[in-house]
């Protein structure tokens, strides 16, 4: 290394934050994006687990696809920790204020005995290319879209009738991280519709049963299991690190709690509900780039009396119906993550299984809404 280059690297080390390899896993769990900036032939020998590969020369051109939010923590890793300093400096100049270099690079990662994944060109390994071949064949998705899914993170509230099909298909699609929150255990009466679970897992925590099923389907994804109720104290921390929230709950209290947290965090909230032979799906996202749109409270300002909103245990539900509605929720989540089509933002799709009819209801924004109305701070 020349004296001039040595001086430049020393200056970068004084100005660009560096992170130790041992700290990377926890940062990724908290929402950081790990990017391997080595060339594709270097990555063929292996890449840090969880990293997305983007060659240094393409980084500025591709980073917006992978990290649309400039506030996201970015961890840049290279062979020994030098190129990543230059990469972090370049991204910080583009407005990514929390771009950091991984000290010691892949060499230090290996020495520390941290897990590695075999990787191919563009950050997709041979097994991933085979698995997602039908996505890669779609021009609207392609490699760039699959990489966006790989670094995406979705919160699934509930691992029941709606959460089961949504989680299975999001995992199958290659969504990199799924956070599943549910406090309940698997009951035999669940098995008629909650297809994540099996007879052999009756009595186990639903989130652990879900994690086992999802990893068996796609071992490339990360599943974070949260065996707890969603409370006022916990909801913001659950919503903060994710890109999209898919709500599969069956009680109004949790829906309002999750909706309000999504409004505060500016995250899209994919709503779903079922009742006997009918279901609903919608997307509530007041911070949508398409302009102000309603939140869940704009449609339901207050919960109906219990007599008008009995649960499935009281009135029953056709077992396949949550499958249809949960899959529609997964479709909306993927559209949001990929930037495809026209998501159901500000709309509710209503499905009548007995009549085989699907209709749509447009939901106006309520200016007096207690959560997203014009008088609410920040709205």
Q: What is the H or E stretch that residue 210 is in?
A: helix 206-217
Please give the pLDDT value at position 135: 93
DSSP 302: S
Please give the pLDDT value at position 304: 78
Between 321-338 and 142-150, two packed helices, what is the crossing angle to 10 degrees? 110
Mean pLDDT of 24-46: 86
Report how far residue 229's alpha carbon sits from residue 238's, in angstroms, rounded to the nearest whole number: 11
By three-state DSSP, how is residue 282 classified? strand
Report how far residue 257's alpha carbon sits from residue 239's, in angstroms, rounded to the nearest whole number: 11
Q: Cα-Cα-Cα-Cα dihedral of 326, 328, 330, 336, to 10°?
A: -150
Report how far residue 10's alpha carbon sits from residue 269's, in angstroms, rounded to the nearest whole number: 45
Long-range contact pairs involving 352-355 (C-beta distance under 8 Å, separation at least 24): 352/277, 352/278, 353/277, 353/278, 353/279, 353/318, 353/320, 353/321, 353/324, 354/277
Report how far residue 348's alpha carbon sits from residue 300's, in angstroms, rounded to the nearest whole number: 12
307 pLDDT band, cuts 50/70/90, is low
Rounded to the nearest 5 percent, the helix, strand and coil shares of the chain are 40, 20, 40
Q: Is the pLDDT of residue 379 over 70?
A: no
Lowest mean pLDDT among 51-55, 159-163, 168-172, 326-330: 51-55
Lowest mean pLDDT among 81-85, 140-144, 333-337, 369-373: 140-144
Strands (DSSP E) along 163-309, which ranges?
A: 177-181, 222-226, 244-247, 269-275, 278-284
How many CB atoms within 10 Å of residue 220? 17
**Which has the closest alpha carbon to 278: 167, 195, 170, 355?**
355
Please give the pLDDT value at position 62: 87
Q: Cα-Cα-Cα-Cα dihedral of 260, 264, 269, 274, to 10°?
A: 0
Mean pLDDT of 204-220: 96
Report how far residue 342's alpha carbon sits from residue 335's, in angstroms, rounded to the nearest whole number: 8
The Cβ-side half-sphere exposure at 116, using a 13 Å CA radius, reads 18
- Report in angstroms the alpha-carbon separations of 297 from 156, 256, 279, 330, 343: 20, 7, 18, 22, 19
How many CB atoms within 10 Å of residue 291? 10
Report how far residue 25's alpha carbon sits from residue 224's, in angstroms, rounded to the nearest whole number: 13
Please give the pLDDT value at position 266: 94
Please give the pLDDT value at position 120: 43
- 313-345 pLDDT per residue, tens: 677 899 999 999 999 999 999 999 999 999 999
How many CB atoms within 10 Å of residue 378? 9
Q: Mean pLDDT score of the chain, rounded to an integer?
A: 91
Mean pLDDT of 85-109: 95
Q: Is the pLDDT of residue 291 over 90?
A: no
28 pLDDT band, cuts 50/70/90, is confident
Q: Is the pLDDT of residue 118 over 60?
A: no
Backbone angles phi, psi at 335, to 5 degrees: -60, -40
């Amino acid at each position: 290394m020349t004296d001039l280059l040595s001086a430049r690297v020393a200056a970068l080390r004084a100005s660009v934050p560096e992170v130790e390899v041992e700290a990377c896993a926890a940062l990724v769990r908290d929402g950081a994006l790990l990017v391997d900036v080595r060339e594709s032939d270097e990555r063929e020998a292996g890449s840090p687990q969880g990293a997305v590969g983007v060659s240094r020369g393409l980084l500025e051109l591709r980073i917006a696809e992978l990290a649309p939010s400039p506030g996201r923590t970015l961890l840049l890793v290279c062979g020994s920790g030098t190129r990543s300093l230059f990469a972090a400096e370049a991204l910080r100049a583009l407005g990514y204020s929390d771009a950091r270099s991984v000290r010691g690079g892949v060499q230090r990662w290996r020495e520390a005995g941290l897990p590695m994944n075999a990787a191919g060109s563009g950050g997709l390994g041979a097994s991933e290319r085979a698995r997602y071949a039908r996505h890669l064949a779609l021009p609207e998705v392609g490699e760039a879209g699959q990489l966006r899914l790989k670094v995406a993170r979705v919160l699934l509230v509930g691992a029941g009738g709606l959460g089961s099909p949504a989680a299975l298909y999001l995992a199958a699609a290659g969504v990199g991280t799924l956070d599943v929150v549910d406090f309940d255990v698997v009951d035999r009466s669940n098995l008629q519709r909650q297809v994540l679970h099996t007879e052999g897992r009756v009595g186990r925590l639903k989130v652990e049963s879900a994690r086992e099923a999802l990893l068996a389907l796609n071992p490339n994804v990360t599943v974070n299991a949260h065996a707890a109720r969603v409370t006022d104290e916990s909801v913001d921390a659950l919503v903060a690190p994710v890109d999209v929230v898919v709500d599969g709950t069956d009680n109004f209290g949790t829906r309002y709690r999750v909706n309000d947290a999504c409004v505060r965090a500016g995250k899209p909230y994919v709503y779903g509900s079922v009742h006997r032979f009918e279901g609903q799906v919608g997307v509530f996202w007041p911070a949508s780039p398409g302009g102000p749109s309603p939140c869940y409270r704009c449609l339901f300002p207050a919960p109906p009396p219990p007599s008008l909103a009995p649960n499935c245990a009281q009135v029953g539900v056709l077992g396949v119906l949550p499958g249809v509605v949960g899959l529609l929720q997964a479709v909306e989540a993927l559209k949001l993550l990929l930037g495809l089509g026209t998501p159901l933002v500000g709309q509710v799709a209503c499905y009548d299984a007995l009549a085989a009819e699907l209709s749509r209801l447009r939901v106006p924004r309520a200016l007096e809404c207690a959560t997203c109305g014009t008088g609410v701070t920040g709205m």
